[in-house]
Copies of this chain bind each other. A is one copy, B any other.
Amino acid sequence: PPNMPEHTAALRLRLSGLCFLLQILNILLFAVFVRYSPESSPGLCPPQLNCSQRNQEPVFQQRFQDVHIQVLLSFGLLVAFLSRYGPGSAAISILIIAFTIQWALLIQGFFYFFLNGKIYVGAPSMVSADFCTAAVLISAGAVLGRVNPVQMLLLALLEVTLCTLNEYILLSLMGVSDSGRSLTVHTFGAYFGLVVSRVLYQPCRDKRKREERQDTGHQTDVFAVVGTIYLWIFWPSFTSATTAHDNAENWAVLNSYLSLVASTIATFILSPVLYEESTPRMVQIQDATLAGMAVMGMAGEMLVTPFGALIAGFLVGLISPLGFRFFTPVLYSRLKIQDTWGVHNIHGLPGILGALLGTLLTLLATADTYGDRLELVFPLVAQGSRTVTDQAFIQLGALPLTLLFAALGGWVTGAVLKIKVLRCSPDGQYTENTVLWEVKLGNCW
């Protein structure tokens, strides 16, 4: 269409302007509220962040870095997956991260690190900001291809708030133990994104174009290989990022590692059966790794036992590819939910299974088997203010609650993103714009 240039220029400036406003807003809010966390202030520190660590800074520094690696990693994976839409989308991911981390520092600060009108930031607040960013990236994976950068920024703006609220209710108020964030990151992020995707549903066009794009596999594989290596190395630290006690960490690391190994093997078992290939593509292995990690989110620090971790990873490694093969198409045809990244199979289902597994293990927890570890994993139980059964019920109750939050939040967010001024008319006005154009191709399944 002839009016294309104007449209594009308009969008360009709109994005540029929005970034400017948001950054100024962040700077002002930081100027008013944010201060460095004083050296010794356990009072400021939320229970789930184990401020005991802050006395052993180096260790924490290390964990802090791993979590970073994780976030940039999950973004790296986002890139990995998106590389088929062209590297332009990597830029958008970075934009999301750069904004979300600042915003999460503020919002999470209000919930966790707020004292006499000031937010005190330090390594712990960076860590929880990173967790929050991970959730936003997961949701972004579901809607990618149907939203422009402006909408993406607003999605981050809203999701951070809701995700933090959910996390606060679960971890601080209900005292749920979810150190690896099966619920608050994986499940919430996935279903939030799926509901947004549902609200933004638009019937399918240019199916043909999408086919063409499929053969940019080489670069995708490069990314996928790098991404998988990173995952194997650092995710175990991720799931154990907020478990201070070294032995406990030891458990979390071992469990996640065994789980991911088993889920990887599972992929090699199923993909030859499901597809006409003798070995899975790297992206599938990468997904299996992610799924194997997500299932260990809540249960990681509990007494899964080595073979339990193997079994859990093995099952989720079988479920995830089946989901891709059979469930994702159904989601699209029946429920009109387009799941660009397949986050439902990679984060959604594994997250739910992880929560159920965590509940089961909570039910089986005894003082003998956990020893002094009980104090760490189930503080309230250790203090006797709660029986193991109560704790298990609460862990279980946290699941539907999270789903509810995610659904409502996603619905509201989707409604906001549909506002006319934000939507870009679907007549491919961005065809000049690599990113948006290529991403538009993700439109149809």
Q: Interface of A with B (CB < 8 Å)?
A: 8, 11-13, 15-16, 19-20, 22-23, 26-28, 30-31, 34-37, 39, 56-59, 61-62, 64-65, 68-69, 72-73, 75-76, 79, 87-88, 90-92, 94-95, 98-99, 101-102, 121-123, 126, 149, 217-219, 221-226, 228-229, 232-234, 237, 246-247, 249-251, 253-254, 257-258, 261-262, 264-266, 268-270, 272-273, 277-282, 285, 303, 305-307, 310-311, 314, 371, 430, 433-436
Contact = CB atoms under 8 A, between A and B. Distances in A.
- For A20, A73, A229, A433, which residue has the most chain B Cβ atoms within 10 angstroms? A229
Contact of A222 (B56, B222, B237, B247): B222
Nearest to A56: B58
Contacts of A233: 65, 68-69, 72
For the complex of A and B, list the 6 residue pairs with the smallest distance between their C-beta atoms, beginning with the closest.
A57-B246, A87-B221, A30-B307, A12-B272, A31-B307, A58-B59
A interface majority secondary structure: helix
A371 B38 CA distance: 11
Nearest to A261: B98
Contacts of A435: 278-279
Contacts of A270: 16
Given A31-B307, A435-B279, A249 B57 contact: yes
A34 B217 CA distance: 40
Contacts of A281: 91
Contacts of A222: 87, 219, 222-223
B306 A254 contact: no
Contact of A98 (B56, B92, B264): B264
Nearest to A303: B36
Contacts of A39: 247, 371
Contacts of A219: 218, 222
Contacts of A303: 36
Contact of A123 (B31, B58, B223, B253): B253
Contacts of A228: 94
A131 B90 CA distance: 30
A439 B269 CA distance: 21
Contacts of A269: 16, 19-20, 23
Contact of A266 (B23, B62, B87): B23
A36 B218 contact: no
Contacts of A88: 279
A249 B64 CA distance: 13
A253 B273 CA distance: 47
A254 B23 contact: no
A109 to B, nearest CB: 10
